[in-house]
Copies of this chain bind each other. A is one copy, B any other.
Amino acid sequence: MTRIAVIGGDGIGQEVTAEARKVLAVALPNLEANEYDLGASRYHATGEVLPESVQAELDQHDAILLGAVGDPTVPPGVLERGLLLKLRFDFDQYVNLRPSKLLPGAETPLADVKAGEIDLVVVREGTEGLYAGAGGVLHKGTSAEIATEESLNTRYGTERVVRDAFERAKRRDRKHVTCVHKTNVLSYAGGLWRRTFDEVATEYPDVTTDYQHIDAAAMFMVNRPQHFDVVVTDNLFGDILTDIAAAVTGGIGLAASGNVNPDHAHPSMFEPVHGSAPDIAGQGIADPIAAILSTSLLLDHIGQGEAATAVSQAVTAELSGRTPGEPLSTAAVGDRVAARVAEILG
């Protein structure tokens, strides 16, 4: 019996998660899925974001499937910090795993890349950096206001995520890791990252490496995304770089992610990279592929490799069947992919 906690969350999060659940139900017959009602509506109804007792229950699951968090009716940061980032930090999900592959049928805005040519994974640090929430404000709302944000970085936190990136690179065809930071300006944190990266690299003689500043990497992700294999970077740079990677591989509708605790000390959490998209919520037109591909990462993480592969094969088939510009129905996509997964798994 595999126990999965499902947090649909806000906006289209609910809709795409419903489809991901359909697929999961087919891929993993022996499944207990428990819904948790968290997000904007619970916050408005009860003032609660993530009660301690709920967090303790979530911790008793094998993995968490999350839709999206964030709503225009809630002040920015309340749900993000109180729910999404709280789970990432408290469950020590230090590997924020974000693969980007240009699949046949996906619409890239780039002129000169073909399906198969982009196949990269960003290993984004998930528990440190500017996401720590350190900082403050003085004289708020006056002309004397100052506001600070502090990026906190440890050797411990840097080394474990860098090592994870090398481990992944070792298992891939090209065996290349690019470290991305901004050492020429952020010399304290950048120095720590760069030295740690170079040291860990010596343990992996078969893996080739390079280093790029975040501004150059962002440009490169547009000009020559084929260059990248594994990318390892800090929390904020990873946030930005993965949205660009998503853009060049068919958009945020296809981008999956896992907030992974590789030690399995707490459940890992899988979610589409996209947000709650309030503008299209409730219309049944959101693409559930990103959520569905996130279940493939989930299955892989809990040791269900065959089911994980079936889901990603079914998604590839679904995308190749698409006609550019054709409107889509969230539920129909989920039905089709679930049926294909059933077929593949026999």
Footprint of B on A, CB under 8 Å? Answer: 70, 76-77, 80-81, 85, 108-112, 130-131, 135-137, 139-156, 159, 182-192, 194-195, 214-216, 218-219, 222-223, 236, 239-240, 242-244, 246-248, 251-252, 275
A193 to B147, CA, bound (A): 9
Task: Collect the chain B residues with CB atoms within 8 Å of residue A147's CB.
Answer: 153-154, 188-189, 191-192
Task: Collect the chain B residues with CB atoms within 8 Å of residue A188's CB.
Answer: 135-137, 147-149
* Smallest beta-carbon distance A138→chain B, Å: 10
**Closest chain B residue to A131, Cβ basis:** B185
Task: Collect the chain B residues with CB atoms within 8 Å of residue A187's CB.
Answer: 76-77, 81
**Closest chain B residue to A136, Cβ basis:** B188
Task: Collect the chain B residues with CB atoms within 8 Å of residue A248's CB.
Answer: 222
A135 to B183, CA, bound (A): 13
**Closest chain B residue to A275, Cβ basis:** B216
Task: Collect the chain B residues with CB atoms within 8 Å of residue A70's CB.
Answer: 184
21 contacting pairs across A/B (C-beta < 8 A): A76-B183, A109-B111, A109-B112, A109-B223, A130-B186, A135-B188, A136-B188, A137-B192, A141-B195, A147-B189, A148-B153, A148-B188, A149-B153, A150-B150, A214-B240, A215-B243, A216-B243, A218-B243, A218-B247, A222-B247, A222-B248
Max count, chain B CB within 10 A of own CB: residue among A80, A135, A194:
A135
Q: Add 12 more A-B contacts to A146-B155, A222-B248 (CB < 8 A).
A: A70-B184, A80-B184, A109-B112, A130-B151, A130-B185, A143-B155, A148-B151, A148-B189, A214-B239, A215-B240, A218-B218, A244-B244
B151 touches A135 (CB 8 A): yes
Task: Collect the chain B residues with CB atoms within 8 Å of residue A242's CB.
Answer: 215
Q: Give the number of times this chain occurs in the complex, counting copies.
A: 2
A328 to B183, CA, bound (A): 32
B240 touches A222 (CB 8 A): no
Task: Collect the chain B residues with CB atoms within 8 Å of residue A190's CB.
Answer: 76-77
6 pairs of A and B residues whose beta carbons are closest in the complex: A145-B155, A111-B111, A77-B187, A147-B192, A215-B243, A222-B247
Task: Collect the chain B residues with CB atoms within 8 Å of residue A183's CB.
Answer: 76-77
Task: Collect the chain B residues with CB atoms within 8 Å of residue A189's CB.
Answer: 135, 147-149
Task: Collect the chain B residues with CB atoms within 8 Å of residue A236's CB.
Answer: 182, 185
Q: Which of B112, B154, B185, B218 contacts A77 (CB 8 A)?
A: B185
A218 touches B192 (CB 8 A): no
Task: Collect the chain B residues with CB atoms within 8 Å of residue A218's CB.
Answer: 218, 240, 243-244, 247
**Closest chain B residue to A69, Cβ basis:** B184
* Smallest beta-carbon distance A12→chain B, Å: 15
* Smallest beta-carbon distance A116→chain B, Å: 17
A151 to B192, CA, bound (A): 18
* Smallest beta-carbon distance A156→chain B, Å: 7
**Closest chain B residue to A190, Cβ basis:** B76
Max count, chain B CB within 10 A of own CB: residue among A110, A142, A188, A251:
A188
B153 touches A151 (CB 8 A): no
Q: Which of B154, B184, B247 contacts A219 (CB 8 A)?
A: B247
A287 to B166, CA, bound (A): 37
Task: Collect the chain B residues with CB atoms within 8 Å of residue A146's CB.
Answer: 152-155
A184 to B236, CA, bound (A): 12
